[in-house]
Amino acid sequence: MAIQLPEDNKMSADYEAQNYLSSKKNSRLRKLVPFITTAIIVSVVFFNCSSLFSVDTSAFGVNPVRSGCKRTVPLVPTFNKSISTILNDPLYKELSIERLSGAVQIPTEVQDKNPDPLKDPEFYTHFVSLHEYLHKSFPLVHSKLQLEKINEFGLLYTWEGSNPDLKPILMMSHQDVVPVNKETWESWNYPPFSGHYEPESDLLWGRGSNDCKNLLIAQLEALEKLLEDGFTPDRTLLLSVGFDEEASGIWGAQFLSPHIHERYGDDGIFIIIDEGAGIVEVDKNVYVATPVNGEKGYVDVEVTISGNGGHSSIPPEHTTIGIAAELITLLEGNPFASEFRTDNPIYGTLQCMAEHSTKLPKNIRKQILRAPICKKARKDVNKFLSEQPALRDLVRSTLAVDIINGGVKANALPEDTKFLVNHRVILHSSVNETVQRDIDYAMEIAEKYDYGVSVNGILLKKQTANGIINLKTINPLEPAPISPNDGPVWDLLAGTVQDLFENNVFQKTPEESKEIYVTTGLFSGNTDTKYYWNLTKNIYRFVGSIIDPTIMETVHSVNEHVDMEGHLSAIAFVYEFIVNVNEHGNDLA
């Protein structure tokens, strides 16, 4: 997996310093080039940061000695009929509020397990209402684009481009929302399916307002506007909209993806943009956009301790519940170690923080920037990240014991105790490596209490008179391939963000001087894109909105809401991105 080191590692170190500095507009910093280069050389001598011994050789095809935080060249579209209207016209905003609110009012809740839509269409009645609502709200989209219903309720819109040689753009979202717990209903500021808009705060409230009816509606609003403006794409555009993303997409995305694959084949899509991160203000008037270009892997391990039943008046020293408890304690007592690497997409976000935000400790900012060429710096950054509850899971695998069952009666020994460990797998690890740890600890307990062990039906240690510990892996998913953070496709995405915000959104308040940088990010969870890997290497999870972190805390929780200014820029982003690909990306296959 390791990439080849450059022949001259010293050169890489200098290149890093120069590259980082050349990205700066600030001429004062340019004058510091010789100083910083000298400082790096000094640090090589005094802090054992010789690049020869400590360049981060981790792979994934991302160059480790290149600043990941850049101010990209803004990509200005010529076809620009409505970007200003979308962002600034009060009447457009009013209609947009109405369209989003209407969608939030349809309670398309899904549970963890949902019935086969062919066998139980009744369960999906609200999705039919949503389809009717979309049809009514977006008349041009529904008269000009082809709409296919995949596996009954999945939506695939196709806007045929004039040039069939160009691979289509694919945008994704989902119609479903996580259910609202009835007991929390009273805690909502406004009823969860009211779609209430509050003019004073500019917030629109309700389940799905932020995850992700807002994105679905934004995409359709952008398309409706483009059609109204007479735009004709050269490249085909697809909208693929699942209906059970919150339940792993098994009826939605899992059917949509092969349908698209059958039509366009392996690597047949130009780019995929799905729900994801947005833009955050990392310091006063400094913004960082983080299209997420990687996702951790996933696996559940179901552990069953099978022992002997009997009367509880003559118990063994440990029941299967006791054994399970000890195994759980062992697992939780040995969390996965953090391992920060510079090819982790989160490093892009960290670089932007280090370069432009005073929110991180000064020393850590310095170490982040030195990380590609200095082992000690990586160690320091790793230590820092491992101590931050909000960040540590982006640099390590995790485990969470989520379900447990055992015992039925006070006077009967529990024959079986079963629990489930949910794992999220860090990028440089694998499902196998993650599960192996569970197996090792199960073996340790099995030795101690004289039990057998089996994994997925394969016997590792013979069953004993006491019983056996069975491990079963469920829903394994390797970490997602990392999408490129440079090259022409990335530049189209980053350049659009740069232009939209720098030259449009920020111009709403010209008295403030605002900056935006575009870099990469990582998800610890998975979106529906997990079914789409074979369609393109360019998969980004991104919404064109400035997102207040406090808003994100309400997603999947009480008082979910979205701010309408953010929603408008999300529409404008989709509009502008489609135009920019058409105007600047037609020489790309």
Footprint on residues 182-211 left by Zn ion (CB under 5 A): 211
Instruction: Select from 111, 248, 249 the least CA-distant residue to 181.
Output: 111
Neighbouring C-beta atoms of residue 200, cutoff 10 Å: 5
Q: How far is the C-alpha of 127 from the C-alpha of 140, rounded, in Å?
A: 21
Q: How many residues does the chain have?
A: 589
Q: DSSP label at 506? A: G
343 is in an annotated binding site: no
**How buried is 39 (Cβ within 10 angstroms: 0-12 exposed, 13-18 middle, 19+ buried)?**
middle
Closest CB to Zn ion among 83 and 172?
A: 172
Instruction: Select from 584, 536, 472, 557 the least CA-distant residue to 207.
Output: 557
Task: Fill in the amino acid letter for 227.
Answer: L
174 is in an annotated binding site: yes
Write a three-state SS string for 386-412: HCCCCCHHHCCCEEEEEEEEECCCCCE
Q: Least distance in Å: CB of 174 to Zn ion? A: 6
Q: Are 262 and 161 in contact (CB under 8 A)?
A: no
Q: How far is the C-alpha of 580 from the C-alpha of 589, rounded, in Å?
A: 15
Stretch touching Zn ion by CB under 5 A, among 182-190, 271-279, 316-324, 502-510: 271-279
Task: Fill in the amino acid letter for 54.
Answer: S
122 is in an annotated binding site: no
Q: Which helix (H) or strand (E) holds 98?
A: helix 90-104
Q: Which of 104, 212, 369, 522 binds Zn ion (CB under 5 A)?
A: 212
Q: Which helix (H) or strand (E) holds 97?
A: helix 90-104
Contact flags string 217-256 toward Zn ion, x per CB under 5 A: ----------------------------------------
Catalytic residue among 16, 56, 176, 528: 176
Q: Least distance in Å: CB of 541 to Zn ion? A: 10
Q: DSSP label at 219? A: H
Residues in contact with Zn ion, counted by CB under 5 A, come to a total of 3
Closest CB to Zn ion among 17 and 212?
A: 212
**Interaction between residue 274 and Zn ion (CB under 5 A):** no
Q: How many CA atoms lie within 13 A of 175 on its CB side?
A: 29
Q: Least distance in Å: CB of 173 to Zn ion? A: 8
Task: Fill in the amino acid letter for 2.
Answer: A
Q: Which two tokens stand for residue 530?
A: 């997990």
Q: Least distance in Å: CB of 1 to Zn ion? A: 31
Closest CB to Zn ion among 218 and 303?
A: 218
| Residue ranges in 7-49 assigned as alpha helix (H) | 9-22, 27-31, 33-46
Asked if 176 is an active-site residue, the reply is yes
Instruction: Select from 498, 445, 499 the least CA-distant residue to 470.
Output: 445
Neighbouring C-beta atoms of residue 356, cutoff 10 Å: 19
Contact flags string 544-583 toward Zn ion, x per CB under 5 A: ----------------------------------------
Stretch touching Zn ion by CB under 5 A, among 99-107, 160-168, 275-283, 311-319: 275-283
Asked if 283 is an active-site residue, the reply is no
Q: Are 114 and 251 in contact (CB under 8 A)?
A: yes
Q: What share of the chain is helix, strand, coil (3-state, %, to 5)?
A: 40, 20, 40
Closest CB to Zn ion among 212 and 489?
A: 212
Q: Least distance in Å: CB of 49 to Zn ion? A: 42
Closest CB to Zn ion among 64 and 206?
A: 206
Q: How far is the C-alpha of 282 from the C-alpha of 365, rounded, in Å?
A: 13
Q: How far is the C-alpha of 389 from the C-alpha of 347, rounded, in Å?
A: 17
**Strand 197-198 relative to strand 237-242: parallel, antiparallel, unpaired?**
unpaired
Q: Which helix (H) or strand (E) holds 320?
A: helix 320-333
Q: Least distance in Å: CB of 270 to Zn ion? A: 23
Task: Fill in the amino acid letter for 152.
Answer: E
Q: Least distance in Å: CB of 385 to Zn ion? A: 26
Q: Least distance in Å: CB of 126 to Zn ion? A: 17
89 is in an annotated binding site: no
Cis peptide before 69 (omega within 30 of 0): no
Closest CB to Zn ion among 242 and 585?
A: 242
Closest CB to Zn ion among 67 and 526?
A: 526
Catalytic residue among 16, 221, 245, 576: 245
Q: Least distance in Å: CB of 217 to Zn ion? A: 13
Stretch touching Zn ion by CB under 5 A, among 114-122, 269-277, 346-354, 444-452: 269-277
Q: How far is the C-alpha of 560 from the C-alpha of 582, rounded, in Å?
A: 35
Q: Are 207 and 104 in contact (CB under 8 A)?
A: yes
Stretch touching Zn ion by CB under 5 A, among 268-276, 320-328, 460-468, 577-585: 268-276
Dihedral sign (CA 95, 97, 98, 103): positive
Closest CB to Zn ion among 3 and 250?
A: 250
Closest CB to Zn ion among 104 and 227?
A: 104
274 is in an annotated binding site: yes
Positions annotated as catalytic residues are 176, 245
Give residues in contact with Zn ion (CB under 5 A). Answer: 211-212, 275
Annotated binding residues, written as ranges, equal 174, 211, 246, 274, 556
Annotated binding residues for Zn(2+), written as ranges, equal 174, 211, 246, 274, 556
